[in-house]
């Protein structure tokens, strides 16, 4: 059966000292609780190695927010999947809308990144989602379908089983405007149907599909109560122990 997951995406926030402090504090709280979900934090690259040494990975998983689309070599400023893996991280967020929009990441590049991450035994948390104009035009299902097909559907069934999906309607990210529970459920059920069509019912039932976009402690329980919403990918509300744990406890 699929895992329930709450993953934080710190984005470009917190210097090294602040990041270590938050990770250690979260680890401490989690070590005293029996939470029913897998908790993960996605830190900037520079935090990974230091945080990795200080947390209990059974209680708190560690993710990068990106990796390069090349194995190694002359790509100044890039960080490879192998480098991410060598820090002790186990997951990598790929295809976040901010990467697609601000850094021009294409479905083709993301397909390569997914391949390279899997080759390093990193589990991708793969983000998909439509922008507002696409939803207003009724194209959200088409958009999400093509994002998934273009970057993931060449994977073998065994490789696909490692993918965690995160549906993040772009209009809900950082805007305070959350998808309604019904909108989230509708899209998550659609995505699960797509997976079932490609890889079969078991693969679909086993795939964790997270919701992201202005998820916070006050709306998490309602979103997570949907049968196809398996948890959340949390931006702003992952930056303090109190806010983030409010969401973890709602799961
Ligand atoms: P938000 O971001 O929770 O701040 O809306 C979510 C995300 O971008 O993953």
Ligand 1 binding pocket (C-beta < 6 A) is: 9, 168, 173-174, 212-215, 233-237
233 C-alpha to ligand 1 centroid (Å): 7
206 C-alpha to ligand 1 centroid (Å): 24
Q: Options 3.40.1350.10, 3.40.50.10190, 3.20.20.70, 3.30.420.40; which CATH number does 5-250 get?
A: 3.20.20.70
Residue 176 pLDDT more than 90?
no
238 C-alpha to ligand 1 centroid (Å): 9
pLDDT band, very low/low/confident/very high, at 122 (cuts 50, 70, 90): very high
Question: Structural domain boundaries of the chain?
Answer: 5-250
Ligand 1 pocket mutation pick from 235, 239, 250 by most atoms within 8 angstroms of CB:
235
The b/e string for 149-168 (b: 16+ C-beta within 10 A; e otherwise) is: eebbeebeeeebebbbbbbb
Query: Which is the closest atom of ligand 1 to the Cα of 172?
Result: 5
- Residue 142 among the catalytic residues: no
213 C-alpha to ligand 1 centroid (Å): 5
Q: Give the length of the chain.
A: 251
Residue 177 pLDDT more than 90?
no
9 C-alpha to ligand 1 centroid (Å): 7
- Residue 168 among the catalytic residues: yes
**Ligand 1, atom 1, residue with closest C-alpha:** 235
Query: Which is the closest atom of ligand 1 to the Cα of 214?
Result: 5
Query: Which is the closest atom of ligand 1 to the Cα of 166?
Result: 9
What is the dihedral angle through the alpha carbons of 88, 91, 92, 97, rounded to the nearest 10 degrees? -150
Query: Which is the closest atom of ligand 1 to the Cα of 127?
Result: 9
**Ligand 1, atom 9, residue with closest C-alpha:** 235
Question: Which residues pair with residue 39 across a beta bridge?
Answer: 6
The b/e string for 70-104 (b: 16+ C-beta within 10 A; e otherwise) is: eeeeeeeeebbbbbbbebebbbbbbbbbbbbeeee
User: Which of 96, 98, 130, 134 does the annotation list as catalytic?
Assistant: 96
pLDDT (tens digit per residue) in 59-91: 999 999 999 999 999 999 999 999 999 999 999
pLDDT (tens digit per residue) in 97-116: 999 999 999 999 999 999 99
Percent of the chain at pLDDT above 70? Answer: 100
Query: Which is the closest atom of ligand 1 to the Cα of 97?
Result: 8
51 neighbors 23 (Cβ within 8 angstroms): yes
User: Which of 98, 105, 130, 168 does the annotation list as catalytic?
Assistant: 168
pLDDT of residue 156: 98
User: Does the predicted TM-score (pTM) go above 0.95?
Assistant: yes
Residue 67's nearest CA partner among 28, 24, 99, 36 is 99
Q: How far is the CA of 22 from the CAs of 13, 33, 55, 80, 163, in angstroms?
A: 11, 17, 11, 25, 27
174 C-alpha to ligand 1 centroid (Å): 5
pLDDT band, very low/low/confident/very high, at 178 (cuts 50, 70, 90): confident
């Amino acid at each position: 059966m699929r895992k329930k997951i709450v993953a934080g995406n710190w984005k470009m926030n917190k210097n090294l000292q602040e990041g270590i402090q938050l990770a250690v504090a979260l680890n401490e709280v989690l070590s005293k609780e029996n939470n029913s979900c897998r908790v993960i934090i996605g830190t900037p690259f520079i935090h990974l190695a230091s945080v990795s040494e200080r947390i209990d990975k059974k209680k708190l998983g560690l993710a990068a927010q990106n990796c390069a689309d090349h194995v190694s070599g002359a790509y100044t400023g890039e960080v490879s999947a192998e480098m991410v893996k060598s820090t002790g991280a186990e997951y990598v967020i790929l295809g976040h809308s901010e990467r697609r929009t601000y850094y021009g990441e294409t479905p083709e590049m993301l397909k390569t990144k997914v391949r390279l991450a899997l080759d390093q035994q990193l589990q991708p948390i793969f983000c998909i989602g439509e922008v507002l104009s696409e939803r207003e035009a009724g194209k959200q299902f088409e958009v999400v379908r093509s994002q998934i097909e273009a970057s993931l559907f060449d994977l073998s069934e065994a490789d696909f089983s490692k993918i965690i999906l995160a549906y993040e309607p772009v209009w809900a990210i950082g805007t305070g405007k959350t998808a309604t529970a019904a909108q989230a459920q509708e899209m998550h059920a659609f995505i699960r149907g797509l997976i079932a069509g490609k890889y079969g019912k078991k693969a679909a039932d086993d795939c964790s599909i997270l919701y992201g976009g202005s998820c916070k402690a006050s709306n998490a329980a309602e979103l997570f109560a949907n049968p196809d919403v398996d948890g959340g990918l949390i931006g702003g509300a992952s930056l303090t122990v109190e806010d983030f744990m409010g969401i973890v406890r709602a799961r």
